[in-house]
Amino acid sequence: MTDPNPRRAGGVFARLDADWAALCADASVREAVSGWLTADCLADAVADAADAWVGALGPEQLLAALRPGDGASCDALADAVLRALLERAAGRGAVAGLAARIVVQAMVPAAVRMTRSQVRPFGGRTFDAGAALVVATLYETACSGRIHPRPGRPAANLLLDSLKRACCELAADREEHGVDLALAEHLADDGPSPADLAHHQAVRAAAVAAGLDPAPGGEQEATGARLELLELLLEAKDAGTISAADARAIAWHYSAGPLSDAAAAARAGTTAGAWQRRRSRAVHTLRTMPRPAAAA
């Protein structure tokens, strides 16, 4: 069964938290992080976001900037900090390893959700084995050098790439243990597969990272057409077809609990009329966007 407390003693996420506490207490790590932020001209902004003194910045303040509250300015800072970390993680040596480790810690909440979506009541991996897979794929993807040059939200790109790696590993695992799991194929299970659940969770996590949920915290129960819309918006945004604001204008309106135009405009810092026009233009752009040809 899915572990109700993923950070229990001895678990993968508990060990990550313990390791993180040790990193935060390490003076050399604090000095390195402070130096990075200064070199990247991000120290003042991170200090403001973390309500900290600029001369006392360390991993905790960096993590606070990577998990921002609501607001476009917070999102922009989180993107800039994460992109800088991913660029360092793509290098070599201790600097790259530390940068990737910080990225993984920032993604722990999403990693917990992704792991839960992969655990089944029979066969397959245990929760801790799934957690180890997800954490490993996050680390490998952070070090790959493929995320920071892309347009769009780096957190969403990181999660989606990590999902693809994890799903490939799960597919190989199922094939290898197909004989052992043969009995499970005869059990009634009309729900989505583990890979589908992982994909759905990653889309939801990416949508939250991109600010596409009408209410802060995400849409944990989003399914069906809503998930398809979110995935379409993420793809179009990352491809540069529409802007992040365009995607939010559509996502906030076409949902089970839509924001009114007045509320959405206030949240975005514009007028209701301008927000309506943005949404109309974005919808038109999506409707005229070339679609990939179906596979033969």
- Pair (102, 41) in one structural domain: yes
pLDDT tens profile 226-268:
777 888 888 888 878 889 899 999 988 887 777 888 998 898 8
pLDDT top residue among 286 and 191? 286
Asked whether 279 and 249 are in contact (CB, 8 A), the reply is yes
- Pair (114, 202) in one structural domain: yes
pLDDT tens profile 31-58:
999 999 999 999 999 998 888 888 889 9
- Pair (242, 273) in one structural domain: yes
- Pair (25, 89) in one structural domain: yes
**38 in a domain, yes or no?**
yes
Over pLDDT 90: what percentage of the chain?
Answer: 28
Both tokens assigned to 154: 């780096």
Q: Could you tell me the pLDDT band of residue 295, with boundaries at 50, 70 and 90?
A: very low
Number of domains, the chain: 3
- Pair (79, 123) in one structural domain: no
The last residue of a domain, from among 89, 106, 123: 106
**219 in a domain, yes or no?**
no
Asked whether 61 and 35 are in contact (CB, 8 A), the reply is no
Q: What is the DSSP letter of 135?
A: H
**77 in a domain, yes or no?**
yes
Asked whether 17 and 42 are in contact (CB, 8 A), the reply is no
Q: Could you tell me the pLDDT band of residue 191, with boundaries at 50, 70 and 90?
A: low
Task: Look at residue 44 in the predicted model and tell me its pLDDT.
Answer: 92
Interval 269-276 mean pLDDT: 91
- Pair (50, 15) in one structural domain: yes
pLDDT top residue among 116 and 294? 116
Task: Look at residue 255 in the predicted model and tell me its pLDDT.
Answer: 77
**5 in a domain, yes or no?**
no
**68 in a domain, yes or no?**
yes
Task: Look at residue 8 in the predicted model and tell me its pLDDT.
Answer: 47
- Pair (114, 205) in one structural domain: yes
Q: Sign (positive/negative) of CA torsion 59, 62, 64, 66?
A: negative
**26 in a domain, yes or no?**
yes
**40 in a domain, yes or no?**
yes
For the chain, what's the residue count? 296
The last residue of a domain, from among 106, 138, 155: 106
- Pair (281, 258) in one structural domain: yes
Task: Compute the C-alpha angle 137/140/145, nearest 5°.
Answer: 135
pLDDT top residue among 140 and 150? 140
Residue type, 128: D
Alpha helix ranges (H) inside 144-291: 154-176, 194-209, 224-238, 244-253, 261-268, 272-288
- Pair (116, 89) in one structural domain: no
- Pair (170, 197) in one structural domain: yes
CA atoms within 13 A of residue 224's CA, in its CB half-sphere: 3
How far is Cα 294 from Cα 267, in angstroms, rounded to an integer? 38
How far is Cα 276 from Cα 284, in angstroms, rounded to an integer? 12
- Pair (115, 178) in one structural domain: yes
Dihedral angle, C-alpha 152, 155, 158, 163, nearest 10 °: -110
CA 285 to chain centre: 26
The last residue of a domain, from among 209, 243, 272: 209
Q: Could you tell me the pLDDT band of residue 154, with boundaries at 50, 70 and 90?
A: confident
Q: Sign (positive/negative) of CA torsion 249, 250, 256, 262?
A: positive
**49 in a domain, yes or no?**
yes
Both tokens assigned to 251: 């996502």
Task: Look at residue 4 in the predicted model and tell me its pLDDT.
Answer: 46
pLDDT tens profile 72-113:
566 788 889 999 999 999 998 899 999 999 999 998 888 888
- Structural domain harbouring 19: 10-106
Residue 141: Cβ-neighbour burial (10 angstroms; 0-12, 13-18, 19+):
buried
